[in-house]
Chains A and B, each alone.
Chain A
Amino acid sequence: MHKDQRLLDLAALLLKAAEPVSWREIQEQFPEDYAGKGEAAIRKFERDKADLLELGIPVRYAAGDEDLPAGYLIDKDEFYLPDLKLPPEDLALLYVAGSAALAQGTFPYARDLAQALNKLSFAASAPGASESAAQAARRLSAAETEAPPAVVRWLEELSRAIAHKKRVHLRYRGAERPEDTEREVDPYGLFQNGGAWYLTGWCHLREDIRTFHLSRIVSLSVNSATPRTPDFDVRGDFSLAEVAAREPWEFRVHAPVRCRVLLDTPVSDEVLASFGPRKKVREEEGALEVEVEATNSEGLLRHVLSLGPAAEIRSPRALRERARQVLAELVEGLS
């Protein structure tokens, strides 16, 4: 019997049964598939159970008591998607957030997200439901017809690797050196910042937590040995939100340096906010001085340059000199 048919038959059998179904009965119903007394048949059944669970169908073993025989069952309450009982505005939040994530084209677990929106739009109708179902359908059918861009592929593979805690091998093009590096990484999580996705994990090359820009990954492979056995545990003190909240100049590249930036007033809220929540601000005549601690001063340099002539790096002297050099070279190229 084909595997898909066996899985559905098994689910149908257990859903229909009034009481737990014994292993023997299951073997009788699937004589070709689970034949024999050996361990092999049981292992095959266990794999099928795991596959069903991944589809959202939990098969449980009940030990049996005076009233019920021992056997396998699917709790109806544990199987059917319940009514979420959410007010329309909360459903709108889910539909809008889900649709926007899919429309963006890059989101971890994108296929699962599309499946979730499909199921949700089935279970709860609210404004936005049909649009999000259409987005979901588009995402699910697109994946099979078009070759996805690298970032989408990495997101998909990393999503799986993170869920199963499998180590990955990266070829990475770092920002600060011209040649690629090869690394083993335990993937801890994926985060989004400024429209781009990043991987954070334990880097075995640097023996520390490191963050990788997905579009700088040249190639990636997931450890395919023992797919159901985790390769690592995430360190207890790790917080993805904390890592994700770091500004570019807070990436760990060098020892901390205090940097001061001068901003001409009036300074818009957005520009001020762009220096993050850990800045110190001092008012001067016609200007604000912003002080931050940088462990990647190149990141700060680039941010300040992007603000144009209304901003300048005041200190440290070396960084100020570097800014002058970069600008002087650009001016030279203009003529």
Chain B
Amino acid sequence: MTGPRRRPPARPAAAPVDPGPPRPDPRDRLRRVLFLVPYAVRHPGCTVKDLARRCACTEKELLEDLDFLLNVGSPPFGPDDFLDVYVEGDRVHVALHQSFSRPPRFTESEAAALAAAAEGLGGEGRERAVKALRDSVPKDRRASFDELSRRIYAGAPPAPDSVLGRLQRAMADRRAVRLAYHSASRDAETDRVVHPYTLAQRFGHWYLYGHDEERGKPLAFRVDRIRGCQPLSQRFEPPGEAELSRMRLFSETSGEPASIRIAPGATAWAIARPGIRPVRREEDGGAVVEVTAGEEWATRFALSLGGQAEVVGPPAARRHFAERVRRTLARYRTT
């Protein structure tokens, strides 16, 4: 049993929670609180700022949550019932509680969403990981987890489980790997020593993002072009979390963007595709878009719209498109 409840010493009495406009879903606050309390217990004296960041809310919302917690377990419960939360300066202390020392189990949709993401990436540990997620759902929700898992399919893994498994182990151990990598530009297999930082998905493909030793800079490698992966003993220091997040936003930019004019019928479809940046809508309902993945990609994209798009600029990209279209048409002159 917990000891007597202490009122917060360093903070004026909690303002009553403003009933105000109704919150969209009271469960959102509870989700936050169920994470906030164990986190604050695990990290005594963590700052309001840090806690707010981890709970994905503003500092104001966080202080409201703490006020809310003070009201929990108030009469008719005894004074020793629940939590002792106080803020001292900018630091949060939670003490003398027992009930919420760890976060609750995964809900079936939390576990199923993470399982679907893991299934779409793959790796030797995939089945183990998915089973562990399933076991972390309350027992009588596991059937719902199974059902829901069959309703999301995030794609087929980009490489054999063995390749992905080795990459994941190397990332976890922070060890370099030797890759047998098929370079599309050279159409040849190359040998690379890479510090594997992270994996990211872009335009429907998985990429390994890592530092290429020989070239001395971070590069993106298409995972489906990695033919072999050997772990090395050499270790590396990974970049910080901010840089990792930035890497996820990489684009395969190569020079000036190409402009493509799209016919009205294909516009909605085309501008929704990944990697397409709308520039302007035409009066007839068509559109002009830009792509930055190079003129070859621009030509392929335009042709994939079945005659409803053409590359219009810059001149080099237009020439590339025109040349491709003429040469392709030449193949159809005979029947």
Interface centre among B274, B304, B325 (most CB of A within 10 A): B325
Q: Point out the residues of chain B lying under 8 angstroms from A257, CB to CB.
A: none
Query: With A55-B34, A240-B150 known to touch, is A305 a contact of B109 (CB < 8 Å)?
Result: no
- 11 A–B contacts from the bound complex (CB under 8 Å): A12-B73, A53-B141, A54-B107, A80-B105, A81-B136, A96-B168, A100-B199, A107-B113, A118-B103, A194-B204, A195-B201
B106–A312 touching, CB < 8 Å: no
Q: Point out the residues of chain B lying under 8 angstroms from A88, CB to CB.
A: 169, 172-173
A334–B322 touching, CB < 8 Å: yes
Q: Point out the residues of chain B lying under 8 angstroms from A103, CB to CB.
A: 200-201, 245, 248-249
Query: With A55-B31, A128-B198, A301-B306 known to touch, is A324 a contact of B329 (CB < 8 Å)?
Result: yes
A97–B121 touching, CB < 8 Å: yes
* Alpha-carbon distance between A175 and B243 when the two chains are bound, in angstroms: 40
B72–A8 touching, CB < 8 Å: yes
* Alpha-carbon distance between A58 and B136 when the two chains are bound, in angstroms: 13
A109–B112 touching, CB < 8 Å: yes
A104–B304 touching, CB < 8 Å: no
B307–A330 touching, CB < 8 Å: yes
Q: Point out the residues of chain B lying under 8 angstroms from A54, CB to CB.
A: 27, 107
Q: From residue B232, how far is it (CB to closest CB) to chain A in Å? A: 16
Q: Point out the residues of chain B lying under 8 angstroms from A51, CB to CB.
A: 27
Question: Which residues 286-319 in A have Cβ within 8 Å of B in the complex?
Answer: 298, 301-303, 305-309, 312, 317
Question: Which residues 24-75 in B have Cβ within 8 Å of A in the complex?
Answer: 26-27, 29-31, 33-35, 38-39, 42, 53-58, 68, 71-73
B234 within 8 A of A: no
Closest B residue to A193 using CB positions: B155
B110–A115 touching, CB < 8 Å: yes
Q: From residue A334, how far is it (CB to closest CB) to chain B in Å? A: 5
B316 within 8 A of A: no
Q: Point out the residues of chain A lying under 8 angstroms from B96, CB to CB.
A: none
* Alpha-carbon distance between A269 and B241 when the two chains are bound, in angstroms: 35
Q: From residue B122, how far is it (CB to closest CB) to chain A in Å? A: 8
Query: With A97-B121, A116-B110 known to touch, is A56 a contact of B105 (CB < 8 Å)?
Result: yes
B180 within 8 A of A: no
A123–B306 touching, CB < 8 Å: no
Q: From residue B267, how far is it (CB to closest CB) to chain A in Å? A: 10
Interface centre among B126, B150, B206 (most CB of A within 10 A): B150
* Alpha-carbon distance between A102 and B304 when the two chains are bound, in angstroms: 28
Question: Which residues 102-144 in B have Cβ within 8 Å of A in the complex?
Answer: 102-107, 109-114, 116-118, 120-121, 123-126, 128-129, 132-133, 135-136, 138-141
Contact mask for chain A residues 267-292; partner B; CB cutoff 8 A; 1 contact, 0 none: 01110000000000000000000000
Closest B residue to A244 using CB positions: B153
Q: Point out the residues of chain A lying under 8 angstroms from B3, CB to CB.
A: none
Closest A residue to B73 using CB positions: A12
Q: From residue A59, how far is it (CB to closest CB) to chain B in Å? A: 10
B303–A120 touching, CB < 8 Å: no
Q: From residue B207, how far is it (CB to closest CB) to chain A in Å? A: 9
Q: Point out the residues of chain B lying under 8 angstroms from A109, CB to CB.
A: 109-110, 112-113, 116, 152
A93–B121 touching, CB < 8 Å: yes
Q: Point out the residues of chain A lying under 8 angstroms from B30, CB to CB.
A: 4, 7-8, 55
B304–A93 touching, CB < 8 Å: no
A182 within 8 A of B: no
Q: B329 touches which one: A241, A303, A321, A331 (CB < 8 A)? A: A331
Q: From residue B302, how far is it (CB to closest CB) to chain A in Å? A: 9
B171 within 8 A of A: yes
Closest A residue to B309 using CB positions: A330
A2–B150 touching, CB < 8 Å: no
B105–A127 touching, CB < 8 Å: no
Contact mask for chain A residues 319-335; partner B; CB cutoff 8 A; 1 contact, 0 none: 01101111111110110
* Alpha-carbon distance between A100 and B324 when the two chains are bound, in angstroms: 35
B107–A216 touching, CB < 8 Å: no
* Alpha-carbon distance between A97 and B157 when the two chains are bound, in angstroms: 11
Q: Point out the residues of chain A lying under 8 angstroms from B107, CB to CB.
A: 54-56, 112, 115
* Alpha-carbon distance between A96 and B168 when the two chains are bound, in angstroms: 9
Binds B, one of A34-42, A62-70, A136-144, A219-227: A136-144
Q: Point out the residues of chain A lying under 8 angstroms from B128, CB to CB.
A: 86, 90
Q: Point out the residues of chain B lying under 8 angstroms from A162, CB to CB.
A: 148, 151
Binds A, one of B76-84, B251-259, B286-294: B76-84
Query: With A96-B171, A134-B245 known to touch, is A9 a contact of B72 (CB < 8 Å)?
Result: yes
Q: Point out the residues of chain B lying under 8 angstroms from A268, CB to CB.
A: 184, 187
Known: A99-B198, A112-B110, A216-B272; 14 extra A-B contacts, CB below 8 A, are: A12-B82, A55-B107, A81-B136, A86-B129, A87-B125, A96-B199, A100-B121, A108-B116, A127-B172, A192-B154, A306-B303, A330-B307, A331-B322, A334-B310
Q: B117 touches which one: A4, A15, A55, A100 (CB < 8 A)? A: A100
A117–B114 touching, CB < 8 Å: yes
